[in-house]
Amino acid sequence: MQTQKLVERVAKQLRDASRQLVHLSTEDAFSYIADACRKELPIDFSAIAMANNGQYVLKAWSGEAHPLANSFPLNVNECTPLLTEEVVTHLHLLESCALFQMMQYTDVPSWFTVPFKIDDTRFGFCLIGYLTPIELIPDMGTVFNEFGKDVGVSMLYQHEKDDKQQLEQLLLYQQTLLNETLIGDAFDGLTKKISELLQNSVVIFDRFHHVLSEAWLDTKQPYDSLNEHHPIHVGHDVLGYIALLKPSPTTHYVQLSIEVAKNMYAIQFMKQKVAVEAYEKKKEQLLERLLQQPFDMQSVLAQANLLNIDLTLPLFIAVVETTIDMTEKAKPFEPALTVIQHYEHAVLLFKDRTQCHAFYDHIQKSAPIKLLYSRPIQKLQDVRTELTKLQQALPLISTACIDYATLGVLPLLQEIEHYDAFVTEQLAALSPQLVDTLKQYLAHNGHASETAKALFIHRSTLLYRLEKIEEALHCSLQHSETRFTLQLALKLKELHNL
> What's the CATH number where 152 sits?
3.30.450.40
pLDDT value at residue 14: 59
Range ranked top by mean pLDDT from 115-119, 206-210, 251-255, 261-265: 206-210
Where a domain ends, among 383, 408, 433?
A: 408
Map residue 286 onto helix, strand or coil.
helix
pLDDT value at residue 234: 83
Is residue 392 domain-shared with residue 426, that is, in the same domain? no
Predicted confidence (pLDDT) per residue in 20-76, tens digit: 655 556 677 777 777 877 776 778 888 888 888 788 998 888 888 888 888 889 999
Residue 278 domain flag: no
Indicate the average pLDDT of the chain.
81
Residue 76 domain flag: yes
| 106-115, 301-310, 373-382, 444-453: range with lowest mean pLDDT | 106-115
Kindly indicate the confidence band of residue 366, based on its pLDDT and cuts at 50, 70 and 90: confident
Q: Give the number of domains in the chain.
A: 4
Residue 11 domain flag: yes
Residue 176 domain flag: no
DSSP, residue by residue, 221-259 = --GGG--EEEEEEETTEEEEEEEESSPPP--HHHHHHHH
Range ranked top by mean pLDDT from 99-113, 126-140, 301-315: 301-315
Is residue 194 domain-shared with residue 219, that is, in the same domain? yes
Q: Which domain holds residue 141?
A: 2-159
Is residue 443 domain-shared with residue 381, that is, in the same domain? no
Is residue 305 domain-shared with residue 364, that is, in the same domain? yes
15 versus 392: the higher-pLDDT residue is 392
Residue 117: exposure state from Cβ atoms within 10 A (0-12, 13-18, ≥19): buried
Q: How far is CA 313 from CA 291, 300, 330, 383, in A?
A: 16, 14, 22, 11
Looking from the CA of 57 toward its CB, the CA atoms found within 13 Å total 9
Kindly indicate the confidence band of residue 241, based on its pLDDT and cuts at 50, 70 and 90: very high
Sheet of strand 228-234, all strands in order from the earlier edge strand to the far edge: 211-215, 202-206, 237-244, 228-234
pLDDT value at residue 179: 65
pLDDT at residue 142 is higher than 80: no
DSSP, residue by residue, 173-211 = HHHHHHHHHHH-SSSHHHHHHHHHHHTS-EEEEETT--E
* Whole-number Å distance between alpha carbons of 354 and 365: 17
Mean pLDDT on 447-461: 88
Is residue 125 domain-shared with residue 200, that is, in the same domain? no
Residue 326 domain flag: yes
Predicted confidence (pLDDT) per residue in 144-202, tens digit: 666 656 565 555 555 555 555 655 565 665 666 666 555 555 678 778 888 887 888 99
Is the distance from CB of 309 to CB of 354 less than 8 angstroms?
Answer: no
Please report, for the domain that includes residue 442, its CATH number: 1.10.10.2840
Is residue 381 domain-shared with residue 240, that is, in the same domain? no
Is residue 359 domain-shared with residue 224, that is, in the same domain? no
Is residue 15 domain-shared with residue 148, that is, in the same domain? yes
Kindly indicate the confidence band of residue 203, based on its pLDDT and cuts at 50, 70 and 90: very high
pLDDT value at residue 327: 79
Please report, for the domain that includes residue 404, its CATH number: 3.30.70
Predicted confidence (pLDDT) per residue in 430-439, tens digit: 888 888 888 8
pLDDT value at residue 371: 92
Residue 432: exposure state from Cβ atoms within 10 A (0-12, 13-18, ≥19): exposed
Is residue 201 domain-shared with residue 299, that is, in the same domain? no
Range ranked top by mean pLDDT from 106-110, 221-225, 394-398: 221-225
Residue 199 domain flag: yes
Mean pLDDT on 357-368: 90
Is residue 59 domain-shared with residue 144, that is, in the same domain? yes
Residue 340's nearest CA partner among 284, 279, 277, 401 is 284
pLDDT value at residue 104: 85
| 31-35, 214-218, 219-223, 309-313: range with lowest mean pLDDT | 31-35
pLDDT value at residue 349: 93
Where a domain ends, among 213, 243, 272?
A: 272
Residue 84 domain flag: yes
Where a domain ends, among 389, 408, 427?
A: 408
Kindly indicate the confidence band of residue 4, based on its pLDDT and cuts at 50, 70 and 90: low
Residue 285 domain flag: no
pLDDT value at residue 6: 56
Is residue 202 domain-shared with residue 300, that is, in the same domain? no
pLDDT value at residue 322: 86
pLDDT value at residue 1: 47
Predicted confidence (pLDDT) per residue in 73-125, tens digit: 999 999 998 888 888 888 887 888 998 888 888 888 888 888 877 777 778 88
Is residue 94 domain-shared with residue 235, that is, in the same domain? no
